[in-house]
Structure 1
Amino acid sequence: MSKSHIYGLDSLRAIAALIVVLSHIELVKESNKITNCFSLMPSGHTGVILFFVISGFLITSLLLQEQIVNKSISIKKFYLRRILRIWPLYYLVLFISVILFNYKPEVNTVVLCLTILPNIAHVLNCGWAVNPPVWSIGVEEQFYLIWPSLIKFAKSKILLILILIVIGYTILPHILLFIIKRTNFANSNVPNFINLFFASAKFNCMALGGILAYLIHYNSKVLIVIRNKYLSKIFILIPFILWGFNFEFYYFTD
């Protein structure tokens, strides 16, 4: 895979950002009881999911490229790059949010946000609203904790692991809820915890991007099918049809 910039991803990012912005406009209209003559974009989670898929694609691509060029992956350098790229801005946003909105967070929220676990604060419902959108940073950072090691040591099994992550994180919560609802924990907070955790842990979405990166990197024969001029049109059309029918899989939303 070339190191050259993939310009098409810029367009995808722009589309994802636009979907999220339009969705939040609708939320503001609803909260302020503004007449909604035309709903611009009701499903902002589509944009969020797209961001996670792109992130998984890029990180996997970079790690696979490094493995080919350097014959190995420097996990220490990977973490250092991620820290320098994300942490300064992350903590700055938290600081400005607290000052700007005069927010007095609970101790649990402070600890979880300072340790880059804002999504866990959301799951535990312990007053995480210092800056709600930062939950996605927590998800990405937790993905980065395991991902370079998996790419480095799993090697030939990485595609299988990616597929299992997608299936596991999508199916496992349904299995757990099915079991728990038939136990003494049915009326506890456990079902809600599972729902929130898996709905916010977007490893399945990021792994989906990783699968595409793997297929492209190793020039898989699957790409021949995907690139077929007739089948590619069908693959593009299917998501729009499902979207039009308001179809969604709960654990692929936010």
Structure 2
Amino acid sequence: MKEKYEGIDGLKAYAIIGIVLMHVIANGEYRIEGFVFERLIPSFTNLVFLFMMVSGFGMCCGYCQKFKDKKISVGDFYTKRYRKIWPYFALLCALDFVMSPSRSALYEVFANLTLCQGLLPNANISVIGVSWTLAVIFVFYMLFPFFCFLLENKKRAWMAVICAVIYNFVCSTYFFDESHIADRVAVNFSARTNILYCAVYFIVGGLFFLYRNELAEFASKHKVIAGGILLIATVAYFAVGGNTLTMLFFCVAALVYTLGCNRGGGTGQSSCQVPWQYQLRDLPVPHGNLSCA
């Protein structure tokens, strides 16, 4: 029997709404003051890392055991990834190029259409520039068989988490600082758009998969504690600042609380899911199947 994590569909929906609000404020000429518009909504940009953690968890739910049992081939896996993402993304790239045609845009459209643009070093693609998240996630898809190897047991998974945390730190303090990259624009975007910087979120999502039953049982029995931890994580994010540690703390707390809600009804259905019309299931947002055998 498969257990569906529909509460995470709701979490994903709220994250989508937050990211949309952030882009509306960032790209509009709104002169509105106050905490909500100056700090809260702009901070929603980091919800992309929550997506990465959910993607790591969801991909493990949908495919990790299938790879181990050889129930899905590598060819079928990659074909499904391209079919899910490519048509809609290709349409957006074509529209962008038609509106602003140039030789550089043509090169960038080609890179986008391969879905391999995440492998470019220090890429700063302007055609559908916000798709840098998609580029990072698709590199994660490319590496997913290796990812399953890292999650073969809990000891190896914890070692991978430690290495990923170190990689995140050295990416932001050494490999992508101003002494190694002269272009200021590249400095701002390179670390964030690099798979090794973001790997910690995917791997922690996989770690959640390994401990999903224990975490769900704890959070379902102690919802007040889980909710309190999520509140503390939120306050810490704004009090300390939006660095990797505070964002990891928030993402972990949010996912633990949501897993607890999933156990709330005792039927595999989430007790804190949003209505289906708000779950935005049909948007081409990269994630795995949020159900586990």
Match status 1:132 vs 2:125:
no
- How far apart in 1 are the matches of 2:27 and 2:239? 25
Contact 1:166/1:204, CA 8 A, preserved across alignment:
yes
Deviations 1:146-190 (A, max 9, x none): 113442x55633x44443444333322534676679xxx936549
Q: How does 1:224-243 map to 2 (within 5 A)?
A: 225-229=218-222, 231-243=225-237
Q: 1:98 to 1:245 in 2, by over 3 A?
A: same
- How far apart in 2 are the matches of 1:22 and 1:214? 33
Q: 1:71 to 1:231 in 2, by over 3 A?
A: farther
Match status 1:57 vs 2:57:
yes
How far the C-alpha of 1:144 sits from its partner, in A, is 0.8
1:213 match:
209
Q: 1:47 to 1:67 in 2, by over 3 A?
A: same
Contact 2:115/2:138, CA 8 A, preserved across alignment:
yes
1:78 match:
77
- How far apart in 2 are the matches of 1:62 and 1:86? 17
What is the percent sequence identity of the aligned residues? 20
How far the C-alpha of 1:145 sits from its partner, in A, is 1.0
Contact 1:118/1:134, CA 8 A, preserved across alignment:
no
- How far apart in 1 are the matches of 2:175 and 2:128? 32
Q: 1:212 to 1:190 in 2, by over 3 A?
A: farther
The amino acid that maps onto 2:143 is I
Q: 1:75 to 1:110 in 2, by over 3 A?
A: same
Q: 1:240 to 1:173 in 2, by over 3 A?
A: closer
- How far apart in 1 are the matches of 2:129 and 2:101? 12
- How far apart in 1 are the matches of 2:66 and 2:119? 31
Q: How does 1:102-141 map to 2 (within 5 A)?
A: 102-106=100-104, 108-119=107-118, 123-125=122-124, 128-141=125-138
1:249 match:
243
Match status 1:168 vs 2:159:
no
How far the C-alpha of 1:61 sits from its partner, in A, is 0.8
Contact 1:16/1:46, CA 8 A, preserved across alignment:
no
Match status 1:92 vs 2:91:
yes
- How far apart in 2 are the matches of 1:160 and 1:103? 51
How far the C-alpha of 1:212 sits from its partner, in A, is 0.9
Contact 2:61/2:209, CA 8 A, preserved across alignment:
yes
Q: What secondary structure, in the 3-state scheme, does the structure 1 residue paired with 2:58 have? A: helix
TM-score (normalised: structure 2): 0.67
Contact 2:19/2:45, CA 8 A, preserved across alignment:
yes
Q: Kindly indicate whether structure 1 or structure 2 has the higher relative contact order, using CA contacts under 8 Å at least 6 residues apart.
A: 2
Structure 1 portions without partners, runs of 5+:
none
Q: What is the CA RMSD across the aligned residues, in angstroms? A: 3.5
Match status 1:42 vs 2:35:
no
Deviations 1:37-72 (A, max 9, x none): 34431212232122111111110111234257x465
Q: 1:42 to 1:190 in 2, by over 3 A?
A: closer
Q: What secondary structure, in the 3-state scheme, does the structure 1 residue paired with 2:165 have? A: helix
- How far apart in 2 are the matches of 1:246 and 1:155? 31
Contact 1:112/1:120, CA 8 A, preserved across alignment:
no
Contact 1:165/1:207, CA 8 A, preserved across alignment:
yes
Question: Number of residue pairs matched?
Answer: 238
How far the C-alpha of 1:20 sits from its partner, in A, is 0.6
